[in-house]
Amino acid sequence: MEKRKRLLLLHRVLRGRRKVMQRILTLDPRLDNLLHSSFHELMSYYQLPESFALTLFHELQDETHLTSLEQDMQTFCTLTCFDEAFPAALRHIPDPPLVLYAAGNIELLGSLPAISVVGTRQPTKAAADKVAYFLAPLAAAGWTIISGMAKGIDSMAHQAAIRSNGNTIAVLGGGLRQIYPRSNQELFDKLAVTQLVLSEYYPDQHPQQHHFPERNRIISGLGFCTLVVEAKKHSGTMHTVMHALEQGRDVFAIPGDPLEDRTAGCHQMISEGAGIIFEPGQLIDEWERNKSKWIHFI
């Protein structure tokens, strides 16, 4: 079995637990010892607790995992950190994903410029106009819009790109067969054919609450900057902003009504140093100033 397939199997068996996977890869970069070792040898090679090594041994011997993996590889595109096609922008972020499952046009991962767009799931009435105003010209100019296919701002961002005949990538917090929210099944079906949907979770893995903050680092990592449309002061959007800053990406926020709590997070970001954005031309100028550095970086 080739090393990338061994990694995909390990990812499935461990349900994507990256810290354990990273430790195993550090000790065995090609995973040569993974499938032909006793549980005592697994415990020794990978410095695992006995009970964990025993569970891992039995899981790796379970043929149903390999059967499911074979089916998934026939249905979806798989990308691993071993592959040249793995997104360069994600190789350099802290805690990069080790495995990605994809449905749709995989070539969109190489399209530039790409911008991450995030915001609240309960947007104001003005949000749709804001999204259209900022994203329609960018999408029409060939920019790729990256978001998380959640309700609210995320869905608006994907739809704005589609309406402008542009490109968009959705990064999910669950597997590609476990669409969340269910109300976005139609949007997923469209993106999976004409655009691109990504997940670092195996296709049948149900979304968990902690998955969404995790996937936000992929959303911010794929864009050269992050645009916050609307956000409360304490929200999941703030996780994405935190990841963007850790990754060295610029953050821009759209100002809103000072009496509206759904834009209070944007004002807080601006007061703390985020760029304030009034029109899409500012983002185009920002890309022109940074594209040589970004292209060299990835």
Q: What is the CATH number of the domain that holds 166?
A: 3.40.50.450
- Are 207 and 62 within one domain? no
Residue at which a domain ends, from 75, 91, 107: 75
Residue at which a domain ends, from 75, 90, 122: 75
**Whole-number pLDDT of residue 236:** 84
Q: How many domains does the chain have?
A: 2
Is the CB of residue 66 less than 8 Å from the CB of residue 56?
Answer: no
Q: Is residue 236 part of a domain?
A: yes
- Are 55 and 178 within one domain? no
- Are 266 and 135 within one domain? yes
Q: Is residue 133 part of a domain?
A: yes
Q: Is residue 210 packed enough to be buried (19+ CB in 10 Å), middle (13-18) or exposed (0-12)?
A: exposed
- Are 46 and 186 within one domain? no
pLDDT at 1 over 90: no
Distance CA 94, CA 23 (A): 15
Sorting pLDDT into bands at 50, 70 and 90, what band is 75? very high
Q: Is residue 145 part of a domain?
A: yes
Is the CB of residue 237 less than 8 Å from the CB of residue 228?
Answer: yes
pLDDT at 28 over 80: yes
- Are 167 and 224 within one domain? yes
Q: Is residue 37 part of a domain?
A: yes
pLDDT tens track for 155-194? 999 999 999 999 999 999 999 999 999 999 999 999 999 9
**Whole-number pLDDT of residue 235:** 86
Sorting pLDDT into bands at 50, 70 and 90, what band is 229? very high
- Are 157 and 238 within one domain? yes
- Are 152 and 254 within one domain? yes
Q: What angle, 0 to 180 degrees and rounded to 10, lies between the N-to-C axes of helices 3-13 and 63-75?
A: 110
Q: Which domain holds residue 49?
A: 3-75
Q: Is residue 85 part of a domain?
A: no
- Are 238 and 119 within one domain? yes
- Are 249 and 177 within one domain? yes
Q: Is residue 87 part of a domain?
A: no
Q: Work out the average pLDDT over 45-61.
A: 93
Q: Which two tokens stand for residue 148?
A: 């998380």
Instruction: Report helix, strand or coil for 81.
Output: coil
Q: Is residue 90 part of a domain?
A: no
Residue at which a domain ends, from 15, 43, 75: 75
* pTM for the structure as a whole: 0.96
- Are 103 and 247 within one domain? yes
- Are 148 and 272 within one domain? yes
Query: Which of 23, 252, 245, 272 minimizes the C-alpha distance to 130?
Result: 252
Q: Is residue 200 part of a domain?
A: yes
- Are 118 and 40 within one domain? no
